[in-house]
A = this chain, B = another copy of it.
């Protein structure tokens, strides 16, 4: 994420102004970091993880058992020898992998059948790994004509069960379509296959002084095609905007095998309906994205990060307003974490935290700009303001790349440690900023009254915590549990969605619908909208073979 950190930033911050308040900022350099607890590129973290990093998949409960109300669609054919023969002929046996045929562990298809959270598990017998758009086209045409249901799969890092089969759908893995096709360093436009791993794309761009306009915890394993298919939000949205604005072109294959050739590399193009937008966030239900073109900003030579403790959520809101005004064009992230997440992070990982003492709330601010001195001055002025006015209780600034990563890990490491007890109920919600944290308090109160929260094994719920992308009014409400429990679920749902609906929020800000949110989409969309969406689904996928049992 960062390229060069202002080593002199803290010194600048303290020497430029003489306010005693600013001096209460403790230098990060004094903190003894326990680095083993921090995330490496391919470890599970913030919003996803490496496929197969979880315990043996076979221990995971089948989705079909967990959701008995979902019935296999009898219109779909069951896989026959003839089907398999066709796919072997098309792709070869190493790219059309049949379950149980090989004893080679590398050809085990179970990792494609389950997710890293250990929440979903399908019954797929066949995994296809096409290497070209033409192969994808032939696969889908054949499946459509033979009524074989499919699940497109990228890095399989999703959080709503969208990328794993429910029954015997054929998995179409995009992992072999992993080439960067072109990059133009004047316009900043990258064209790449859908199966390119986000971090690979970002590293490629880093060498060319640009960045991918999206960053998220799962970057070490998620695919850029999956990012676009799920309209991933992540950590850079505040600065660079959504994929609906940044994706300039998409090449996709429709269920009938047609190739949508819309892979233009133009910043402006007003020649007809912008159909590619339907595939951004379409979750693989109307076609498979095979390549994208995307506008990538120049990489900022100056990147800084600060981590604060605050008295209340109201203080966090005031800090956000001050940051918007004073850091303005260099503000690249504003993340909020409650005190409970930071305490759990400390206790589970055993790491030393950046700030001494405990605070009810924490914020992480990142700035990215073209001039180190200017950014330092803006940060100093901002820090002086938030310290002098008591908006912030304590804080620390990164002084080097290691500290930069360590501060970020206080935010990005949360997801991993919340899984420590066995499971997590995760809600990804858009709400008016003022109401963002009230939901966490209300949920905690509700579960406490129900007597399900406690410190020992007789209580299923460990805690109720909240964190998220404050700059985007996006809350991650997380409920770590010792086991998934239908009774606990009933206490939370649909109550939590009703709460969000009352505030005109969204029940899925950035994670999508998948299996989990499908029954609840009515809390964010009215019947008219859902009817219009079903028209689109029916238009492109009249046989319903694309990623069935999910979305709308």
Interface residues of A (CB under 8 A from B): 184, 186-187, 230-231, 233, 237, 241-242, 244-246, 258-262, 264-275, 277-278, 280-282, 286, 298, 300, 317, 320-321, 324-330, 368-371, 374, 377-378, 430, 432-434, 469, 472-474, 504-513, 517, 521, 524-526, 528-530, 532-533, 535-537, 539, 551-552
Known: A186-B433, A245-B246, A530-B272. A266 touches B371 (CB 8 A): no
Other-chain contact of A509, B244, B265, B270 (Cβ < 8 Å)? B270
Asked if A508 contacts B269 (CB within 8 A), the reply is yes
A513 CA to B242 CA, complexed, in Å: 26
Known: A270-B509, A281-B273, A324-B298. A261 touches B526 (CB 8 A): yes
Other-chain contact of A529, B260, B286, B539 (Cβ < 8 Å)? B260
Closest to A535 in B: B539
- Count chain B CB atoms within 10 A of each CB in A187, A272, A510, A552 and give the residue with the most: A272
A505 CA to B259 CA, complexed, in Å: 20
CB distance from A263 to the nearest CB of B (A): 10
Known: A271-B506, A317-B186, A529-B262. A246 touches B237 (CB 8 A): no
A66 CA to B537 CA, complexed, in Å: 41
A16 CA to B5 CA, complexed, in Å: 26
CB-defined A-B contacts under 8 Å, sample of 24: A186-B317, A230-B270, A233-B268, A265-B504, A267-B473, A268-B469, A269-B508, A270-B506, A270-B508, A270-B510, A271-B521, A272-B281, A272-B513, A272-B533, A272-B551, A272-B552, A273-B286, A273-B536, A274-B281, A327-B370, A328-B370, A329-B368, A370-B378, A374-B378
Number of copies: 2
Known: A244-B277, A330-B329, A374-B377. A510 touches B433 (CB 8 A): no
Closest CB pairs A-B (n = 3): A245-B245, A277-B277, A328-B370
- Count chain B CB atoms within 10 A of each CB in A260, A320, A370, A505 and give the residue with the most: A370
A371 CA to B269 CA, complexed, in Å: 34
Known: A244-B277, A246-B245, A274-B244. A430 touches B535 (CB 8 A): no
- Report chain B residues within 8 Å CB of A529: 260-262, 272, 275
A298 CA to B327 CA, complexed, in Å: 11
- Count chain B CB atoms within 10 A of each CB in A246, A281, A551 and give the residue with the most: A281
CB distance from A232 to the nearest CB of B (A): 9
Asked if B473 contacts A509 (CB within 8 A), the reply is no
Asked if B506 contacts A266 (CB within 8 A), the reply is yes
Asked if A472 contacts B268 (CB within 8 A), the reply is yes
A530 CA to B271 CA, complexed, in Å: 10
- Report chain B residues within 8 Å CB of A186: 317, 320-321, 433-434
Asked if A430 contacts B269 (CB within 8 A), the reply is yes
Other-chain contact of A231, B260, B270, B473, B506 (Cβ < 8 Å)? B270
Having A244-B244, A278-B278, A300-B329, one finds 4 other A-B pairs with CB under 8 Å, namely: A258-B528, A268-B472, A268-B474, A272-B551
- Report chain B residues within 8 Å CB of A266: 430, 473, 504-506, 509
Other-chain contact of A268, B272, B509, B513 (Cβ < 8 Å)? B509
CB distance from A122 to the nearest CB of B (A): 22
A529 CA to B259 CA, complexed, in Å: 9
A474 CA to B270 CA, complexed, in Å: 11
- Count chain B CB atoms within 10 A of each CB in A264, A274, A275, A278 and give the residue with the most: A274
CB distance from A511 to the nearest CB of B (A): 7
A278 CA to B274 CA, complexed, in Å: 6
Asked if B472 contacts A511 (CB within 8 A), the reply is no
A368 CA to B329 CA, complexed, in Å: 9
Asked if B374 contacts A271 (CB within 8 A), the reply is no
A270 CA to B229 CA, complexed, in Å: 11
Closest to A245 in B: B245
Asked if B231 contacts A517 (CB within 8 A), the reply is no
A504 CA to B271 CA, complexed, in Å: 13
A504 CA to B272 CA, complexed, in Å: 16
- Report chain B residues within 8 Å CB of A505: 266
A261 CA to B272 CA, complexed, in Å: 23
- Report chain B residues within 8 Å CB of A324: 298
Closest to A524 in B: B271
- Report chain B residues within 8 Å CB of A511: 270
Asked if A371 contacts B369 (CB within 8 A), the reply is no
Asked if A273 contacts B282 (CB within 8 A), the reply is yes
- Report chain B residues within 8 Å CB of A282: 273
- Count chain B CB atoms within 10 A of each CB in A277, A329, A524, A528 and give the residue with the most: A329
A226 CA to B324 CA, complexed, in Å: 30
Closest to A282 in B: B273
Other-chain contact of A267, B237, B258, B271 (Cβ < 8 Å)? B237
